[in-house]
Amino acid sequence: MKIKGQHHQTIWLKDERTVQIFDQRYFPHQIVIEDLTKLEDFEVAITDMHVRGAPLIGVTAAYGLYIAALEALEQQDFDTYFTNAVKRLRKTRPTAVDLFHAIEKVVTTVNSTEELKKKSLLALEAAKLLAEESVVSCRSIGEHGLKIIKEIASRKKGKPVNILTHCNAGWIACIDYGTATAPIYLAHDAGIPVHVWVDETRPRNQGANLTAFELNEHGVPHTVITDNAGGHLMQHNMVDMVIVGTDRTTRQGDVANKIGTYLKALAAKDNNVSFYVALPSSSIDWNVNDGLTEIPIEQRNPDEVKYVHGWDGEKLSKVLITPKDSPAANYGFDVTPARLVTGLITDRGICEASEEGLLSLFPEKNESDF
Ligand code: MRU
């Protein structure tokens, strides 16, 4: 997607030993590119959210394992170093399942050869492949979701389709296109009038900082709203549909996404507004059924709630908004039960949020040992 008219993706290889990313903590105020050259850089980049968003977290970890494999070649015992790198990367973020899927893919590929030098080459190929697959997957989510937007647009006879989204499930959370935003970009590019209500998404403000930034760069009409405004807008027929992303979708169609998603789903149900979740297959956890009890919910540093970051006109500043000693709690995600989800927009098509719905698109998972 574009920044200042130029096509970009979120992660790329600069040279054999350097992976580059946009340090997302600076968007939209500054464009900062960061070099990741050692395993620890990848751990910090994922944990401290220089990169974030389920698909991008997965691909970043995959590149991290490539660099770890290069480092392992310089150690006495490749396997011990590499296995420890896997452990370290698995600990970076708990909720998004793409992280674990991506790590598993690289590990399987690396283990497919005994030749030490070949291991790092295979890790690199696996990381590149995961990135390419993510782009293709997001593009198909876009094509499937576009059909829903077209249908609403034809009912609205030329009036803009108002879409509400939460957090950032755009290209900045993926490699390109995004998940929730892919249908929106495709609709906009096809000349269908769309307007996006962007939830600011406290405490890290991914909506205000990232979704608004990328929609703005692409010229998609949008308005940033407070996290609590969605219900009011729905009551007044100002939202035609909701599309959000997901960090983990269970076998029965429950969806873990950024904290606050559940409340949007409740408001949507009460107001008869369609609530769609856009997801690549990599975000489905076929081993988990009940999202409420089985998905680990990340709890982050309370300071993210107590302090607000913003641009003071010259630099990024941080200000305290609570009494200094007030405790704060920072739950990163919540689970929206399948019954509140109108449909899942996947890379293979749209289905009901249920085991039957998912299996109709992924019949090969029928034989799962779940
Ligand atoms: O904590 P984050 O910023 O990594 O959370 C991101 C989200 O919740 C996204 O909406 C999600 O990863 C959806 S997938 C593009």
Which CATH number do you get for residue 259?
A: 3.40.50.10470
Under DSSP, the state recorded for 160 is P
**Residue 173 Cα, ligand 1 centroid: separation in angstroms?**
6
| Distance set, CA 139 to CA 28, 142, 273, 302, 362 (Å) | 24, 5, 25, 36, 18
Same domain, 347 and 285: yes
**Which numbered atom of ligand 1 lies nearest the CA of 52?**
4
Ligand 1 pocket: which of 57, 206, 277, 334 to mutate (most atoms within 8 A of CB): 206
CA of 246 to the centre of ligand 1 (A): 7
Assess whether 42 and 174 both reside in one domain. no
| Eight-state DSSP code of residue 47 | H
Taking the centre of ligand 1 as the mean of its atom positions, its distance from the CA of residue 67, in whole angstroms, is 25
Question: Do 87 and 151 have their domain in common?
Answer: no
State the closest ligand 1 atom to the C-alpha of 204, by its place in the atom list counted from 1. Answer: 3
Average pLDDT, the chain: 97
Q: Which pLDDT does position 367 carry in this prediction?
A: 63
What is the pTM (predicted TM-score) of this model? 0.96
The ligand 1 site (C-beta within 6 Å) comprises 52-55, 96, 167-169, 173-174, 179, 206, 245-247, 257-258, 332
Q: Indicate whether 219 and 259 sit together in one domain.
A: yes
Local confidence band at 1 (pLDDT 50, 70, 90 cut-offs): confident
Closest atom of ligand 1 relative to the 245 alpha carbon: 13
Catalytic one of 247, 285, 334, 347: 247
What pLDDT shows up at residue 160? 98
For residue range 329-357, what is the model confidence (pLDDT) as tens digits? 999 999 999 999 999 999 999 999 999 99
Q: Which structural domain range is residue 219 located in?
A: 144-369
Identity of residue 2: K
Stretch 306-328: mean pLDDT: 97
| Dist. CA 143–CA 154, nearest whole Å | 17
Is 69 contained in some domain?
yes
- Tell me whether residue 247 is one of the annotated catalytic residues: yes
The predicted structure's pLDDT at residue 257: 98
Q: Looking at per-residue confidence, does 368 or 338 come out higher?
A: 338
Q: Give the model's pLDDT for residue 139.
A: 98
What is the distance between the alpha carbons of residues 241 and 226, in angstroms, rounded to a whole number?
A: 18
Q: Of 133, 152, 187, at which residue does a domain stop?
A: 133
Domain-embedded: residue 285: yes
- What is the average per-residue pLDDT within 289-297? 97
pLDDT of 368 > 70? The answer is no
CA 331–ligand 1 middle distance (angstroms)? 13
pLDDT level of residue 195 (50, 70, 90 thresholds)? very high
CATH of the domain at 57: 1.20.120.420
Q: Which of 78, 110, 133 is the last residue of a domain?
A: 133
Question: Tens digits of per-residue pLDDT, 198-237?
Answer: 999 999 999 999 999 999 999 999 999 999 999 999 999 9
